[in-house]
Structure 1
Amino acid sequence: MDSTTITTTSTPPVTTVVRGDNTDSVHRARKAARTFTDRLAPAPDAALADALVLVVSELATNALRHGGGRYTLKLSASPGTVTAAISDPNPAPPRGRAPDLNGGSGGFGWHMIRRLTDDLIITPGPGPGKTIHARLTR
């Protein structure tokens, strides 16, 4: 009887935190997400890493535009998932709107986030705000 053993090694859970209050911070958040995925063992495939970077970019941008002008992003990983959790001071949950195809005023972000993630959970706090937990399966 032929037997195959698969051993998966992983570093202890990794966490990265980024705080932002201006548009330059979105670039830092994207860079942190890329560095975060590059340091995971085993490394996620390129499509997952790209999806996480895009989700982080959209979450950070939405927090700045609609969430009160600042955010805290926490990236974490488990053997089966990577999670971007972004907190902002606005308690209102995100809402999708029709994308503006002509004026360039947006409307695409929340739809992309919902499409790219496997699980979205919105929780109250910290303080009066909210936290959006966006999980992607590894």
Structure 2
Amino acid sequence: MSPRTGIPHQSTGMTCAQARETAGRVLAGQDTPPDLVSDVLTVVSELVSNAVRHAGGVTGFQVAVRAGRVVVEVSDRSALLPHLRPASPHTPGGFGWRVVKTLAPGTFVRSHRNGKTIIATLPAHHGPPPAP
């Protein structure tokens, strides 16, 4: 069985710190390389902070270690899809989605009746992500 943790789809009030702590606990028991842990925690922070700032909060959160990859799922109430914003020296922020897509190139969004779920897949090794 794959180690995983999750919170059901309801209003959680989850903070970035809580999500990072949860993800860290899942990864700790898996002998996860430190650079992968750092990348996963960065992706978790970006997805959760965006859900809190722009999408009414986190409604679901899950981290799972599966054959050769770590999967992070963050759900929120908004149907608006994330998008890359042009870099601008006059506008702060706007780099989170770019960071997520760089660290987890297999990231995709699943829309549903109550909002959306972003599924970010990070390969447990360097190179292209494994096929689903």
Q: Same fold (TM over 0.5)?
A: yes
2:52 alignment partner AA? L
How far does the alpha carbon of each residue in 1:3-39 deviate from its partner, in whole angstroms, 9 at most, with x for none?
A: xxxxxxxxx21111247426xx110101111111111
In the superposition, the TM-score normalised over structure 2's length comes to 0.82
Give the ranges of 4+ consecutive aligned residues of structure 1 lying more than 4 Å apart after TM superposition.
none
After superposition, the CA RMSD in angstroms is: 1.8
State how far apart, in whole Å, the 1-side matches of 2:97 and 2:121 are: 14
Which runs of structure 2 are paired with 1:1-138 in the superposition (5 Å)?
A: 12-18=1-7, 20-21=12-13, 25-40=15-30, 43-101=31-89, 105-125=92-112, 127-138=113-124
How far does the alpha carbon of each residue in 1:81-100 deviate from its partner, in whole angstroms, 9 at most, with x for none?
A: 11001110101110121345
* Unaligned residue ranges in structure 1 (runs of 5+): 1-11
State how far apart, in whole Å, the 1-side matches of 2:120 and 2:36 are: 13
Residue pair 1:71, 1:88 contacting (<8 A) in 2 also: yes
1:134 alignment partner AA? A
* Unaligned residue ranges in structure 2 (runs of 5+): 125-132
2:93 alignment partner AA? G
Structure 1 35/62 Cα, relative in aligned 2: closer, same or farther at 3 Å? same
Residue pair 2:58, 2:74 contacting (<8 A) in 1 also: no
Q: How many equivalent residue pairs?
A: 121
